[in-house]
Structure 1
Amino acid sequence: MTIRKVLSTAAICAALSINATMPSYAQEKTEFRLAWSIYVGWMPWGYLEDSGIMDKWADKYGITVDIVQINDYVESINQYTAGAFDGVTATNMDTLSIPSGGGVDTTALIIGDYSNGNDAVILKGEGTLTDLAGKPVNLVELSVSHYLLARGLDTVGLSEADLDGVINTSDADMIAAYATADVQAVVTWNPLVSEIVGSNPDANVLFDSSQIPGEILDMMVVNTQTLTDNPDFGKAVVGAWYEVMALMAAGDEDALTAMAEASGTDLAGYMAQLEATEMFFDPAAAVAQATSPDLPETMTTIAEFLFDKGILGVGAPSADFVGIAYPGGVVTGDGNNITLRFDATYMQMAAAGEL
């Protein structure tokens, strides 16, 4: 499965350098491009393209919307940040650190789901989170796994400094790494979590994302100026998305099987991953997430984590560097530098049947 992780510093700099040469987004237009990568909660985007549902909704509004799969999640955000796409699938954490942190004003058009057990801290053998003290932990550094570990340690009064280091380990190497004698604990995501736990009787899940509900959000984010200048773009994309959400909620086997096969598994495997994913099939549920009073607190915590790791944009002077706007006029961070916006407008239109 493609990893949901932040770009390396080099990639950030490259993306921002490219972005600096791009023309202004401020224009009305009729052709749009979205990028997506493989993850359980993002498989509907491929189905939207392949089934013709996106074309149907785009035709309704007299536009075209091409949905392009990018095999590397990092590269998809890189290309969006550089201006090659009008929107991209990304987590809240990565949106804050890369495009928004780099000055690309970005709006969360759709909050599709949150990880509800897909990400987990796993200890080899018996113990609890406190037993991680003095042990090395293998994970993809600067990823949502790194954030999950920090949140888990915080619940027992520990920090990364109490560990015997964090060992950067590729997702492709995680299962093999777990099998080695030197590895004592890992943090990863599904389907790797399921494979490790299912194949190793000594695998002990200490903490998972279901214990921090609503913190790891999976979204479709779009360029704010593009959305402002082209509201029909937002209407078409959101309308198409919730048509597929209705199919999934109804258990449409053809649609779900197509998504499963596209993600490299079977229907049973895909459904197992969905069980650890809190999908917002109902747009009203997505609106509730966007307007939750917990969201500003969550994003502040994430900003502090990113700043502490030196990845809240290039040269961010503080954790408040990026301003984040929420429904109702709430702002966290620098109100004079708002480059991330949680806007429930279009999801609310879907909930009200106004698309």
Structure 2
Amino acid sequence: MKTRELSKRLGALVGAGLLATSLSFSASAQERDSFSIAWSIYVGWMPWQYADDSGIMKKWADKYDIEVDVVQINDYIESINQFTAGQFDAVVATSMDSLSIPAASGVDSTALIVGDYSDGNDGVVSKDAATLADLKGTTVHLVELSVSHYLLVRALDSVGLEERDINVVNISDADLVSAFQTDDVRTVATWNPLLSEIEAFPDVTKLFDSSEIPGHIKDLAVVNTEVLEQNPNFGKALVGAWYEVMSIIQSDTEEGREARATLGENSGTDLAGYEAQLAATRMFYEPSSAVEFINSDQARDAMDAVRQFSFEKGLLGQGAMSPDFVGIEFPDGSIMGDEGNVKFRFDDSFMQMAADGEL
């Protein structure tokens, strides 16, 4: 897996300074019949490839008399940058990156599909430490400002430590596995499939993983809000196609197994490898489950923790004086942050239509 998994989740190093703040989406957001979504390789986003290759996306687009171009972008952060710049109408991204790149750059963005959250796909592994408390005074290598960095901060907090109690060293995800095989690198925080490779080394201990902060690392399909408002059929087609694919992916049928095997192969592993990653992912196969989750206190609390981290790390931009800088709207209409600067929204109405059989 040398694509999205190896460039995944670089938490907005280019974030709020992006030029898209000054872009106008009025021209691209008008009523039209052709749209695009950018995706990158990750266990929870591979279904978009299946939707495209199988013709399911086309079937749903045809139903609403539109066209939807499903485009793979090998560089995850670049796909979000392109969405932010208006080159795509939708993109797949984590909640943290959605907040810290397009939303913080002034692009009003809507989380249309809450696809999953990491439930063990991200973790902290050490050669020396037996517990998280043992990390005090040691060095941890990770992709700085990524969700691995976020995971580490949450892990330290769980045992009363702070980031200043350790030494964080930035390392490229492409170099992480090979670096861990040297004597100099003793502890790392990373994601799958890198995490699985590192856990397979002898005499290592996994100290913490994302199953201990359920709901914090959410994977979404995000749509430009103005585009969605002007073209609700685009949202209906995306959601309809997604949940049809979900019904196949989760099924214990020959079709389901073939689909999972194909997606595993296309992402650099095999059926067993892909299913192992699915097992470490809380997939919302049913739209009703996604709706229930995103309306929960758990989801709100997790989003609050994410925005606090994003502010502390400067990911909300130079103009952000507090975590409230970007307003985040939840499905019930409540707003976390600045009500006058709402740029990130969770809209469950399309998922609810899918749950009610109304698409």
Scaled by the length of structure 1, what TM-score is found?
0.96
Find the aligned partners of 1:242 and 1:23 in 2 and give their Cα distance.
28
Q: How does 1:222-233 map to 2 (within 5 A)?
A: 222-233=223-234
Q: Please say if 1:133 is aligned against 2:136.
A: yes
- Partner secondary structure for residue 188 of structure 1: strand
Structure 1, unpaired ranges of 5+:
none
Q: How does 1:81-230 map to 2 (within 5 A)?
A: 81-163=84-166, 165-198=167-200, 200-230=201-231
- Partner secondary structure for residue 320 of structure 1: helix
CA deviations 1:292-339 (Å, max 9, x no partner) are 122222111111111111111343121110000101122101111100
- Partner secondary structure for residue 120 of structure 1: strand
Q: How does 1:285-300 map to 2 (within 5 A)?
A: 285-300=289-304
Q: Please say if 1:37 is aligned against 2:40.
A: yes
Find the aligned partners of 1:68 and 1:126 in 2 and give their Cα distance.
42
Residue identity in the other structure for 2:250: A
Q: Which of the numbers 5, 9, 17 marks the counterpart of 1:4? A: 9
Number of equivalences: 350
Q: Please say if 1:60 is aligned against 2:76.
A: no
Find the aligned partners of 2:313 and 2:43 in 1 and give their Cα distance.
27
Q: How does 1:303-314 map to 2 (within 5 A)?
A: 303-314=307-318
Q: How does 1:69-88 map to 2 (within 5 A)?
A: 69-88=72-91
Task: Tell me what 1:320 maps to.
Answer: 324
Structure 2, unpaired ranges of 5+:
none
Mean Cα displacement is larger for which, 21-30 or 187-196? 21-30
- Partner secondary structure for residue 271 of structure 1: helix
Q: Please say if 1:302 is aligned against 2:306.
A: yes
CA contact (8 A) 1:109 1:344 kept: yes
- Partner secondary structure for residue 40 of structure 1: coil
Q: Please say if 1:337 is aligned against 2:338.
A: no
CA deviations 1:45-99 (Å, max 9, x no partner) are 1111111100000000000000100000010000000000000000000000010
Mean Cα displacement is larger for which, 242-251 or 252-261? 252-261
CA apart distance, 1:289:
1.3
CA deviations 1:238-258 (Å, max 9, x no partner) are 000000000011131221122
Find the aligned partners of 2:220 and 2:115 in 1 and give their Cα distance.
5
Runs of 4+ in 1 over 4 A off after TM superposition: none
Q: Which of the numbers 4, 19, 22 marks the counterpart of 1:20? A: 22
- Partner secondary structure for residue 220 of structure 1: strand
Find the aligned partners of 1:125 and 1:33 in 2 and give their Cα distance.
47
Mean Cα displacement is larger for which, 178-187 or 62-71? 178-187
Q: Please say if 1:51 is aligned against 2:54.
A: yes
Find the aligned partners of 2:198 and 2:29 in 1 and give their Cα distance.
47
Mean Cα displacement is larger for which, 286-295 or 129-138? 286-295
CA deviations 1:126-147 (Å, max 9, x no partner) are 4210111000100000000000
- Partner secondary structure for residue 323 of structure 2: coil
CA contact (8 A) 1:12 1:78 kept: no
CA apart distance, 1:193:
0.9
RMSD (CA atoms)? 1.2
Find the aligned partners of 1:196 and 1:68 in 2 and give their Cα distance.
31
Mean Cα displacement is larger for which, 316-325 or 293-302? 293-302
Find the aligned partners of 2:45 and 2:258 in 1 and give their Cα distance.
17
Mean Cα displacement is larger for which, 52-61 or 117-126? 117-126
- Partner secondary structure for residue 117 of structure 2: strand
Q: Please say if 1:249 is aligned against 2:250.
A: yes
Find the aligned partners of 1:123 and 1:161 in 2 and give their Cα distance.
18
CA contact (8 A) 1:19 1:83 kept: no
CA apart distance, 1:7:
2.8
